[in-house]
Structure 1
Amino acid sequence: MAGIERVTGPTLDVLEALLRAHQQNEELHGWAIIKATKRNGPTVYRALDRLHEAGWIERRWEELEPDNPGPRRRYYSLTGEGIPAARALLTQRRPAALTPRPTLGFAPLTWLLGLLAGGTR
């Protein structure tokens, strides 16, 4: 695996988004990465190209059904080699990126409903 010659803020943002997606067992398409990083398209795609050239990510085109016209999405995910490399780089350059973030969803609501019903923590 080749290293990344130039590590920029946008590259770290993209790696952070891809690592979080990996932890949730998901792939991200380009638009989702743009939204997650709050960076513009050309900046994100340049970072994705560098990461792909380094062997840290893989990309694949969405397979559409014949009755589902429209543009295909390109999905990105970390490779087996890219996962530890991304973790190491983020640990070095952006340690806060690896701290778990609270997941919003039904768990807080369930907890609140339990409290309202007279339960405890």
Structure 2
Amino acid sequence: MTTISQRIVYEIWRRRDLEQACLQALEHSSSEQYASSPEDQMLLLEALRAMDRALAGLSSRECAAFLLYKLDDLTYPEIARQLGISASVARRCVAKGLLQCYKACSFAPLA
């Protein structure tokens, strides 16, 4: 019970920290280009939560590789150097992240 409780608390703290970091980044942007309404901020937080849920099934290495690929536009060899893994392992980690995101998306049938 203690372990389960600790994991739940950790997950709550992690999500709270993610939301706070996102809101702080939005507040600190001085450009009008990045200014957003409260509704836009809420949509962004919902998107972050959805991404968090999608990536929750990944290991920390897989998640790091996926985020380096998608957010930092690093190549597989660059990711491999940064994480201390081979390029083929980096490619598999990114593929697993993409698959998790694909599974999390709900696609409406085209009519």
TM range (shorter): 0.3 to 0.5
Q: TM-score, normalization: structure 2? A: 0.34
Report which of the two has the higher share of strand.
1
Report which of the two has the higher share of helix.
2
Q: TM-score, normalization: structure 1? A: 0.32
- More RCO (CA 8 Å, sep 6+): 1
The structure with the largest alpha-carbon Rg is: 1
